[in-house]
Amino acid sequence: MAGRANLAHQIGLIDFTSAGALARTDRDDGDDARRVDQRAFYLGLGPSGPQVVEGWYGVPYGKPLTRMREYITIVRAALARDAPLSFEGEHYQIPYTRAGSTGLGKPLKCIQHGRRDMKIFTAAISPAGLALAGEVGDGVLPLIMDPERDDLIEPHVKKGMQRAGKPQDFNHFDIAPFVAVHIGDDLAKCRQPVKEWMALYIGGMGARGKNFYNDYAVRMGYEAQAKKIQDLYLAGKKAEAAAAVPDKFVDTIALVGPPARIRERLQAWKAAGQRGSVGTLIVAKADIAGLRLVTESVFS
């Protein structure tokens, strides 16, 4: 279960929906965004990694950031409806006239009218991905974040803002990390699902040498631990990989333990919100009690 707690403007909790850029078409996402435009909805897009793109979707990994840039351009044009949709890019061509086409395609407009100001977020934690988010997005969705390490995200986002000629501030850009919440008196038991989650991503969500989550853990200062987690996970020792995730790492990126402990740790996230370093918390892995606790703590 996931919810959204806005720290900067305190607008409450809502469901968060995301869509993978390779699992759907750009016109589909523009169309669905129109259909839900009366709800509080942000469009989240992520390019994934080569292991998933080529191993599951069956397409070349190619240039994921170029593809994402083109994809967002198309979605924004579809939402705006200023003219029948046409696009000529390296990855996408609309209408399609390349090999195998019938030649019958023509520029079209969606018959539904939606919001041209639909906010588009990208999922990113790599320096290049964060820069692209700053360049073409309205926000970024880091799966892992240390609320006290602005240096791991903000400089890269600002680089993209500069490239696009945007103001290099976060008044109109939202950093929205996923933060797992597990409430309970047994701290080790609360940490365990987060450790298993992080073992999957740091250890197994990508091939060795091409795992963005592992790279990010290294940048956070956990180089030896990240290597050990990956070695164990790729050797099929998932329980041992989870056990190798440090308690401190879990406590940094998640909210776990008794309510009083979570309220205390939430202060670091609220401080990040006051600095403008976090605009929204995507409350992940939480039950109703967790959502209620975070909501009450943020708004108190």
202 and 169 together in one domain:
no
Question: Tell me, what's the pLDDT at 167?
Answer: 93
Whether 296 is in a domain gets the answer: no
Residues 138-144 have a mean pLDDT of 95
249 and 197 together in one domain:
yes
223 and 134 together in one domain:
no
Question: Tell me, what's the pLDDT at 21?
Answer: 35
207 and 68 together in one domain:
no
190 and 224 together in one domain:
yes
Residue 51 scores a pLDDT above 50: yes
71 and 217 together in one domain:
no
Cβ neighbours of residue 101 under 8 Å, at least 6 residues apart? Answer: none
Higher-scoring residue by pLDDT: 21, 86? 86
Give me the domain span that covers residue 197. 185-257
Q: Which two three-digit tokens encode residue 134? A: 């700053």
The model's pLDDT over 97-137, given as tens digits with 9 standing for 90+, comes to: 999 999 999 999 988 887 888 899 999 999 999 999 999 99
The model's pLDDT over 171-203, given as tens digits with 9 standing for 90+, comes to: 899 999 999 999 999 999 999 999 999 999 999
How many folded domains does the chain comprise?
2
216 and 274 together in one domain:
no
- What pairing do the DSSP bridges indicate for beta strands 87-88 and 93-94? antiparallel
199 and 50 together in one domain:
no
Residue 150 scores a pLDDT above 50: yes
256 phi/psi in degrees, rounded to 5: -135, 150
Q: Contact, 190 vs 297, CB < 8 A?
A: no
Whether 115 is in a domain gets the answer: yes
Mean pLDDT of the chain: 87
150 and 214 together in one domain:
no
237 and 88 together in one domain:
no
Q: Which of 11-25, 147-161, 268-282 tops mean pLDDT?
A: 147-161
17 and 163 together in one domain:
yes
Higher-scoring residue by pLDDT: 34, 296? 296
96 and 68 together in one domain:
yes
